[in-house]
Structure 1
Amino acid sequence: MFSSRPLSLPHWTSMDQADSDVLDISTKVQLHGVLWKKPFGRPSTKWSRRFFMIKESFLLYYAENEKRNFDTNRYFNIHPKGVIPLGGCVVSSKEEQGMPFAMTITHEDFTGNVVLAAESEAEQAQWLELLQESGKVTWKNAQLGEAMIESLEAQGLQLAKEKQEYVDKLMEETEELCLQREQKEELERLNQVLEEEKQRFEEVVVELKMEQEQIKVELDGTAHSLKGVETEKKELHSLTTLLQKSLE
């Protein structure tokens, strides 16, 4: 990221980021829109479209598709592709081949010029006016601008930290839920086993009752038979007694 330090104003710096964290910032954005841009720091005839915005004394630029996100959500993305300090810069119109509404931004500390181009003369005039106004800043204002960027970075880090804490908490709750689900499945399995054991036990009880009834029936039959034998024994004894008397 562009950084201002005592006694120096370095060049613009690339700030490509894998993430796209955004932050709703109340500070006014003076101007935003899509411009053509030449590669910085080296001669080239290649042009590419980028989404630019002027914020305080800085010119920030993003990939072109960021315009759609900004127009839809009105969020200020804290990770631009680059930041150009405008303090002390000279901004002027310029006509480039195929780009009649070009602009240059120069500064004694820059290596080469920043060359941009608008689509129309009216758009060029609007950007020239605000770029020139934003360049009229003091060193103190530049430091304030850098403090703003550092504050945005800090807030971005805080958001990333909170996001990670949320993800960690979500993972912990997910693991706990999985454990509870496994415990529930184990309890259901044990209940099934107990239910099957209960059914088998009930079947054994029914079989034992049936056997008990059968044994009772057999015992009753045996008792009845024994009673009949006893009766016959008595009758036989009486008959034997009578025969003995008759023989005498």
Structure 2
Amino acid sequence: MSGMLFTCPHIVFLSQSTLTGMSQLCGTRLCHEIAHAWFGLAIAARDWTEEWLSEGFATHLEDVFWAKAQQLAPHEAREQQKLRACLRWHRLQDEVQNSPEEMQVLRPNKEKTGHVSDSGSSVIRHGLNPEKVFMQVHYLKGYFLLQFLAKTLGEDTYFSFLRKFVHTFHGQLILSQDFLQMLLENIPEEKRPELSVGNIFRDWLESSGIPQGIFLTQGLSTGLQHCRQILNHLSHRRSLLLRDISKYKDRST
């Protein structure tokens, strides 16, 4: 549970458990929940098996909101986003390795997505599976799909479209194809051969595992190398700190 509860897009209730005293941990978490005011509340998934439309967008936008809130310089924002992408990549990799393939699919109902029976009921795939509660695949693969689209189109084009999309679908329930079809209608002609609704369904939403697009467009190898350098640096600093503590203890005795 997030420890936060929205009652409407204008109010956030915070539980004490979210006030950690570490502004970055609480801040990014709060940015994620604020993003749900647009994706999750003002616009929501018509078929809840497509929860990436809520959680993927909120994960993607939390970095943008955090950079704005902290007034980060562009290069600082990029560095932080690279590091977070690296950490998310590791989480996604762990999840893919330790979960059933059928639960790694963001659009499991495929062409039946959004279908409602004559009685008015619909089925949420894996809705009763207790493992589903703890999975983050819809957060992480959704995030990387949106990063892929932003990188392919260019961030200015992508965010300009996103504003238009929010205004168009505000107050509505949507499916993945609503978002993707409008996106492809509003991108420059020269970008269209690289993208299609069918290809995105096949490669990102209806397949298990890690999409190849993550490797091709995210510069992830560079990001992973950068992440390892940071982790190695922190490990080295920790070793030095432990050594100094040990010396201090020896002197004290």
Do they superpose with TM above 0.5?
no
Q: Structure with the greater relative contact order (CA < 8 A, sep ≥ 6): 1 or 2?
A: 2
Could you tell me the TM-score, scaled by structure 1's length?
0.32
Q: Computing the radius of gyration over CA atoms, which structure comes out larger, 1 or 2?
A: 1
> Greater helix percent: which structure?
2
